[in-house]
A and B are shown apart, each in its own frame.
Chain A
């Protein structure tokens, strides 16, 4: 029955995926059958190992935590987030528990709608598959250390590339007739080294036997091997047409609890068998696209072809974002592509210079590229360190590397990484230094800090070795830590810097927008929320004397390991940073720019809420820094 409440629920749901793509009729039939659950804080909605409830859940208000062993927070679901789906799809017991983190209102949607929606709307199926992929955290890989990140990687390597491409099925699968015995079929499978065999009649598939059937039915003695294959085959088989996409194939496998799909000419069981697609085929597909790009980069002979590859990488990135592949994985892929591009640009420049390099050097990426968080094309920030050399050869050597760097930065500019407006590039003689010069430079920054030097530290401390002699970069790190250990007060200055951008909510819980300039009334997502999280991570990790962890998410993971008592806060930092990276990338794609400035009017309410959820985290981490570094009296 359509009524005021169901209309209001439909209004809410339609701004969140996957409900946003449903038809009005689908949406209203869901809304009319929702159960509105009210839970106070710390209430169990479902429990690990419980039988699955006949519904899945959407958070309306509040926050629901998904926990492993009832205490390890795996995921936090806020407004519009779905949970309790995985067990429902697998028709299995719950692997995780859902407990309210705060007072919440949760909509329970009956399971029948899930099936109906998946069957009628491939887009929703795709969405659910990706969220399924991100929620499928291997429950047995119980490695407390950095489990969030790890799980993202694990699942993503399997699912990241499963976009709308056609599935690459095995053509001319091995078949047999229904008259042969189980033993004969097993012999064929054994000699052909295959895990399944399809039973056909007039080349149409009528049944299938997999390793599992042999194991479960024949090897147990339930059926003797001299019987006909019809005794153990699964029949009828699920058939699909050759243009099935990988996502569709996966959904079909999950839905039907099968591991093999038969591909027939027209997709029905009444046409000829032309192939077979196994779960294994799909898993094997992972990793193809980026690795192809990286191979192309290695073969590229000029900046033009590098530019083409970078454009391809951008469209890959776009697909990932659209498919809601977790951002930690995306940034890993894109960073490795960016590093490869830089490396190739250096190699090509070295070929042009022709001369043998006078001494070893290391090319360093700085800032976001150094942290491996650069997704969109932004400015290039880089520096160069070369081996110590007698004073009389110093300037000659420097000018060699400066001219090399000029060629490299020109190529990077051509590829799409624009010149740094502040000239923070290796082609600037101030940032093309010998190892000793760098050490002196860092010593000066650390022992005589001022506003400008602190800012330089925040850029230069996040460097990442890209090309050349890595030991030079490592020497630099060592000298930084020596200096910071000697001048403890420096971290307090860095702390003050980390607090210079307060949480971006003004007194009235509105967004703080830029007051003047080109971006008046726009929200600066980079300096208002992302940099505070980046700065905090850098400061805290330096305080622990940890070298070589430059990525913000990895830094927080390391911090969780070092300070288990602050685990929840750091987990929220990771979550917030992932949201922000995704957000910025989406906005960047939409506007064709760096995504740094957001027009608040263009945001949906859901987006605003999501964005705002990260502000609280900024506030909390800044509070921690204020206390830890005793900054209250310094402010």
Chain B
């Protein structure tokens, strides 16, 4: 009963997002929808820094549909000139930007209950969760996959303790590094990386979702 009262004060878009989780994921990996995403931020400090853009693509049965992809730019008050060199996003700029809240709404609407995939996902998830927190909402409910951690399950990984950069893995898997450091460009590269690692792990077609999910424990570090 309490729970019901509690839930009630959440906005509509959050409730809609939650509704998608009433059904579980399909059994076969080929039927599961993955959303691979990346954020460009003003810096690496989870609480101080802000998300400038979110890019995402969807993958289902090894296919990336270009017309089902996501790219949004966010207007932020906080600005860090030092990271402009990396992502090229200026404070003003001439790209159409939306408010953080609007970006959040659209992102939730896009991801639904898909499995979220990112490279070093702790950071990106934390950044999104901070947005949620600023909007008085709980954390994301989606199951997660980290391509950095997933790589460590492959034979190509020679040192499980090392943190492999996206650039390094793109090189290992022969992925063209176009549009690095645009959120959608990185999401696309991460998407291809995910597909290739997945294919390598799933050679015999026996792989189950639970084997590739990112251990939740790791995500706790940031909170």
Contact = CB atoms under 8 A, between A and B. Distances in A.
Interface of A: 1, 3-6, 8-9, 31-40, 103, 105, 108
A6 B64 CA distance: 12
30 contacts: A1-B67, A1-B69, A3-B66, A3-B69, A4-B179, A4-B184, A4-B185, A4-B188, A5-B64, A5-B66, A5-B69, A5-B184, A6-B66, A8-B179, A31-B66, A33-B67, A35-B64, A35-B65, A36-B63, A36-B64, A36-B66, A37-B62, A38-B62, A38-B63, A38-B64, A38-B192, A40-B199, A40-B203, A103-B199, A108-B63
Interface in B51-80: 55, 57, 62-67, 69, 71
Nearest to A108: B63
A98 B184 CA distance: 30
A3 B68 CA distance: 11
Contacts of A105: 192
Interface in B160-219: 178-179, 182, 184-185, 188, 192, 195-196, 199, 203
A193 B66 CA distance: 55
Given A8-B178, A37-B64, A38-B62, 11 more contacts: A3-B71, A5-B64, A5-B184, A5-B188, A31-B66, A35-B66, A36-B63, A37-B63, A38-B64, A105-B192, A108-B63
B155 to A, nearest CB: 15
A39 B62 contact: yes
Contacts of A38: 62-64, 192, 195-196, 199
Nearest to B178: A8
Contacts of A35: 63-66
A33 B67 CA distance: 5
Mostly helix, strand, loop or mixed at chain B's interface? mixed
Interface residues of B, number: 21
Nearest to A1: B67
Contacts of A34: 66
Contacts of B64: 5, 35-38
Nearest to A60: B176
Mostly helix, strand, loop or mixed at chain A's interface? mixed
A33 B66 contact: yes
A1 B57 CA distance: 13
A394 B71 CA distance: 87
Query: Which 5 residue pairs across A and B have the least CB separation, nearest first?
Result: A36-B64, A4-B184, A38-B195, A40-B199, A3-B71
Nearest to B67: A33
Nearest to A3: B71
Contacts of B199: 38, 40, 103
A8 B185 contact: yes
Nearest to B71: A3
B90 to A, nearest CB: 17
Nearest to A2: B71
A556 B51 CA distance: 60
B59 to A, nearest CB: 9
Contacts of B192: 38, 105
A105 B174 CA distance: 12
Interface of B: 55, 57, 62-67, 69, 71, 178-179, 182, 184-185, 188, 192, 195-196, 199, 203
A314 B57 CA distance: 51
Contacts of B188: 4-5, 8
Given A4-B184, A4-B185, A32 B195 contact: no
Contacts of B55: 3-4
Nearest to B194: A38
Contacts of B62: 37-39
A32 B185 CA distance: 14
A30 to B, nearest CB: 10
Nearest to A43: B62
A300 B57 CA distance: 67
Nearest to B185: A4
Contacts of A36: 63-66
Nearest to B186: A4
Contacts of B71: 1, 3-4
A557 B18 CA distance: 64
B68 to A, nearest CB: 9
A35 B178 CA distance: 18
B66 to A, nearest CB: 5
Give the residue among B63, B67, B178 with the most A Cβ atoms within 10 A: B67
B66 A4 contact: no
A466 B55 CA distance: 67
Nearest to A105: B192
Contacts of B184: 3-5
A123 to B, nearest CB: 25
Contacts of B185: 4-5, 8
Contacts of A108: 63
Give the residue among B66, B67, B69 with the most A Cβ atoms within 10 A: B66
Nearest to A11: B178
Given A38-B196, A105-B192, A4 B63 contact: no
A5 B185 CA distance: 6
Give the residue among A5, A35, A103, A108 with the most B Cβ atoms within 10 A: A5
Contacts of A40: 199, 203
A1 B72 CA distance: 12
A345 B101 CA distance: 85
A36 B67 CA distance: 10
Contacts of A1: 67, 69, 71
Contacts of B63: 35-38, 108
A42 B66 CA distance: 25
Nearest to A41: B199
Nearest to A40: B199
B178 A32 contact: no
A32 to B, nearest CB: 6
Contacts of A5: 57, 64, 66, 69, 184-185, 188
A113 to B, nearest CB: 12
Contacts of A4: 55, 71, 179, 182, 184-185, 188
A33 B184 CA distance: 16
A378 B155 CA distance: 54
B165 to A, nearest CB: 20
Contacts of A8: 178-179, 185, 188
Nearest to A38: B195
B63 to A, nearest CB: 5
B67 A32 contact: yes
Contacts of A31: 66
A519 to B, nearest CB: 32
Contacts of B57: 5
A1 B67 CA distance: 6
A32 B192 CA distance: 18
Contacts of A33: 66-67
Contacts of B178: 8
A53 to B, nearest CB: 12
A38 B196 CA distance: 8
Contacts of B182: 4
Contacts of A9: 66
Nearest to B61: A37
A28 to B, nearest CB: 11
A10 to B, nearest CB: 10
A158 B52 CA distance: 59
A31 B66 CA distance: 8
Contacts of A32: 66-67
B131 to A, nearest CB: 21
B115 to A, nearest CB: 17
A245 to B, nearest CB: 35
A40 B202 CA distance: 11
A36 B175 CA distance: 14
Give the residue among A3, A35, A37, A103 with the most B Cβ atoms within 10 A: A3
A183 B6 CA distance: 84
